[in-house]
Amino acid sequence: MSYYGLLLNMKTAKNLWILSSLMINVVIGIYIYLQQNAPKNLEERFQYINDNWAMYGGHWKAEFLVMTLMLIGAIYFMMYWKSMSWTIISVGQLIVLLTYPIMLGGYENTPFELANMANQIATITFIFGNVIFFLGITLLYLKAHILQPWLRYVAILLSIGATLLFTSVFIGLITWNQVIVIAPLINILYLINAYYIYKIPSEFQSTRT
């Protein structure tokens, strides 16, 4: 592929990453709103989700799309920069994507036992994927000297915090509902992720972290 072809693809990958990193904040906000309105009892919650499937199903499909766009960008960066951090980010994001077919196929008009099983599989898949994703983000920012020093340190602290939180849920130290409380901090990290890629010139070829 010609240099100009690579440059065009890099611009596309950057735009996909930036757009998805911004849109995921909207998705997280909608998810928190939906969680607040759903019943606490699990069986009643699944019934509520089915009664409002157009809203829930539409939200998860939109989130599926946003996460896929993010993965496309990450895979291109991985191949372009031959980067271990972007490889880890891509693997984590790919694992996260497995969550959405499980939810979309396992929640709608299914018996409670099956829906509950799908929920447990989707939750542990999502949590583990985020452990890997944020580990990759942490490694990325440890060498991300293109950012202002103070912003780089904030990004490192937030990404380490996110990695530890999702790891704590994965090994059972805290619950998923406790992680949702700190969602605004993860929102900030996604905004930094978008800004980081925005700051990298499209022709910049030496960011191998």
**One-letter amino acid identity for 140?**
L
**One-letter amino acid identity for 75?**
I
Distance, in Å, from the CA atom of 64 to the CA atom of 68, rounded to the nearest integer, reads 6
Cβ pair 203, 161 in contact under 8 A? no
Q: What is the pLDDT of residue 120?
A: 94
Distance, in Å, from the CA atom of 17 to the CA atom of 137, rounded to the nearest integer, reads 13
Banded model confidence at residue 184, pLDDT cuts 50, 70, 90: confident
Task: Kindly tell me if the per-residue pLDDT of 208 is higher than 90.
Answer: no
User: Which two structure tokens, joined as six digits, stand for 60?
Assistant: 């998860």
User: Which two structure tokens, joined as six digits, stand for 128?
Assistant: 């583990």
Task: Kindly tell me if the per-residue pLDDT of 177 is higher than 90.
Answer: no
Distance, in Å, from the CA atom of 72 to the CA atom of 16, rounded to the nearest integer, reads 7
Averaged pLDDT for residues 65-76: 97
Distance, in Å, from the CA atom of 144 to the CA atom of 130, rounded to the nearest integer, reads 20
Task: Kindly tell me if the per-residue pLDDT of 6 is higher than 70.
Answer: no
| pLDDT, tens only, 29-44 | 888 888 888 888 889 9
Instruction: Break the chain into its structural domains and give their ranges.
Output: 3-199
Distance, in Å, from the CA atom of 44 to the CA atom of 59, rounded to the nearest integer, reads 19
| pLDDT, tens only, 132-170 | 999 999 999 998 889 999 999 999 999 999 999 999 999
Task: Kindly tell me if the per-residue pLDDT of 203 is higher than 70.
Answer: no
pTM: 0.91
| pLDDT, tens only, 89-122 | 999 999 999 999 999 999 999 999 999 999 999 9
Following CA atoms 128, 131, 132, 134 in sequence, which dihedral angle do they give, to the nearest 10 degrees? Answer: 150
User: Which residue, chain included where needed, has tokens 């619950």?
Assistant: 175
